[in-house]
Structure 1
């Protein structure tokens, strides 16, 4: 009768042991009662085999449920690099104890995934460590990441400090996996060699950097229209001026710096239209001059920040094209403005005399 020493079928083991003991005592009774030794030679052979199986089970059980220090042989250390459209993978190849792999996505989230071939273990937490290679003189072991295992299983993910782990591996360090349970007899450590990893590691790191740069460009393009002071439909910024104001405030300069960064990132912008306007206070000629001065003030600040002069077109309109009624102070404040419109390479610049025809036709806030 075969006994499962691995402990995977405890009920079957109990039944098997009970059957063996029953046969043992039955034959022993007959042996004592009748004294027939030769007839029970087969029984003694079975008894010896039974005792041997018990000893083997005891030894295996003590090994299975006591602290284990597993050192994966170096000749098993083989690492493979694989890349997808949105992720990079650095995987161990066919370790007998399970699979280990690093993964990096387009958001630069780097994880270390552990998938063990052992089931039924009641581990509470796992700790990832780095250590010196065995041929190093000093045995330096440092914990770098940990994960709690509320639902004990054979697969779990480390998410913290994995970039540091990769840097350490690049410097020749090995990894160690420490598994702990509520019962100390379930504790286990697995040493993971990193020999033969350098070529795959360099490919993985290059893939990670490439994904990160690509994602940064995508995020920047997607976030450009979300600037709070930029009209997303017309890509227009409006800067208001106080009555008699002839210099830029710090807040206005901050907005222009943000706009300049926007323009630098959006390579499609090839022209910035700067249009100056005033309220109706004072002579129209004076208002035309003031509107030009304010528009040129904006243009010079953009040039100072680094925007080429040929990309900036200044236009002055004076008191024409009000967006609000000049009969109130609030309306006048809205009309004292400079607008900056970003023109992309696939757009045409509309002449100033035609650009505001809709405003002249009565689309003015009262």
Structure 2
């Protein structure tokens, strides 16, 4: 308990008040920000921290705008470590008071992460010319303090590009299309209107996300008609979905189809509405971790 009190007390001191402190922050003449990912499925803003690692802001396609921050360290913490995140005035812009942002906990062998609300606060402070800075005790020497800062030099132009990327993110994400069920009109290979929109949405996502390595397409029918005919109908439906994706630029080697005919029904085949549920194609997507 006394160690935690000592840590918080030390971190509350002004930056220059701690004599034995290792500082990591880019100098004004070599501060580098870059838009490392700029697609409708992910926006990624990165900043190099010399001799330490890099700072990363990430937002991904989703129904709601999201954001998280990762402090990507070359050397991961070797012990659970408490840290304080402050917004301070950079050395080349003295005079402004420091503002506390949040307390976080570095987990052993993991990068430091900051959640959505505080990540936005960090971006706002950088835009103001401030320097978000992490303070913590070295996990090998608790008597030595470490300060890791994000320089606001050369930030605004790349931040504007990041915000432009955010405005073009798809309004749905991987979780929304990873398991998609398409349904068909009675007889033939015509998708319902809702399923046509779903298929287009899956295709659009796949066109941008290069981490998807496999698309599994399983086709089924109801039990109306003979089994051999239903098997051919299922094959036709699976191939039509695959052909649609290939025509939209999805590599054919990433797509695997299976036709099951009237096997594995999800509803009875006694009523029209029930049979409609069995006339389906299920699309499952596997993504590299």
Higher relative contact order (CA 8 A, sep 6+): 2
**Structure with higher strand content:** 2
Bigger Rg, which one: 1
